């Protein structure tokens, strides 16, 4: 069994890292698990624990989806949370609404359904998870930091491929092993 996910890799630039580290520094006293910058990505599909004999079929489906998708640009912007202001669980960076990434996700889901992999019941919400919140001592201060960083350009990213990764859980955080890359050719 391998813990798998399909994702668009993001390569943080200077502006991205400046915003990321400013938020991280401001919240240094809170119990927050930060995603390492080299692990930043947009998850298209989380497969979870997957039998290894399913990987070739997943690869074929993802390859077919990539053939139908065209390269596009993403504008990363804004900061927000998942969960409520009383119980925030995730800090994320958002992106300018793009039909292209929504279309890519639909094609990926469709091709995976062809091989019997359910898409899940949640809608695809494109975002970059930058941190997972364990607990907060000062929710008001936390919300102030998020509000201060809520709006604004972060980075422009050219997307011309996506990847299938294995997530290996380690004590100091996950390690992502590349299984295969899929160039957008549509």
The pLDDT score that the predictor gives to residue 92 is: 97
Residue 24's pLDDT band (cuts 50, 70, 90): very high
Q: What is the pTM of this model?
A: 0.93
Catalytic position from the list 53, 54, 127, 163: 127
Domain that holds residue 61: 2-183
CATH number at residue 176: 3.90.1140.10
Mean pLDDT of the chain: 94
Residue from 41, 54, 98, 163 carrying the catalytic annotation? 41
66-110 per-position pLDDT tens digit: 999 999 999 999 999 999 988 999 999 999 877 899 999 999 999
- The yes-or-no answer on residue 41 being catalytic is yes
Provide the H-helix boundaries in the chain: 14-26, 55-68, 99-114, 139-148
**What is the greatest pairwise CA distance in the chain?**
49
pLDDT value of residue 177: 97
Structural domains in the chain (count): 1
Whether the predicted pLDDT of 155 surpasses 70: yes
Going across the sheet that includes 41-50, the strands are 41-50, 2-9, 161-168, 175-183
């Amino acid at each position: 069994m391998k813990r798998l996910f399909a994702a668009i890799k993001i390569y943080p630039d200077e502006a991205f890292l400046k915003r990321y580290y400013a938020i991280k520094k401001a919240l240094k006293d809170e119990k927050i698990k930060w995603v390492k910058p080299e692990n930043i990505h947009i998850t298209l599909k989380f497969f979870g624990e997957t039998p290894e004999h399913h990987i070739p079929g997943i690869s074929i489906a993802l390859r077919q989806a990539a053939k139908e998708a065209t390269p596009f640009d993403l504008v990363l912007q804004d900061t927000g949370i998942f969960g409520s202001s009383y119980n925030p669980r995730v800090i994320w960076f958002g992106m300018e609404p793009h039909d292209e990434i929504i279309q890519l996700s639909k094609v990926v889901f469709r091709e995976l359904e062809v091989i019997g992999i359910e898409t899940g019941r949640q809608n695809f919400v494109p975002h970059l998870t930058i941190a997972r919140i364990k607990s907060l001592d000062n929710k008001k201060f936390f919300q102030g930091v998020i509000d201060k960083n809520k709006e604004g350009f972060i980075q422009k990213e050219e997307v011309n491929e996506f990847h299938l990764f294995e997530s290996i859980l380690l004590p100091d955080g996950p390690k992502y092993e590349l299984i295969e890359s899929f160039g957008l050719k549509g």
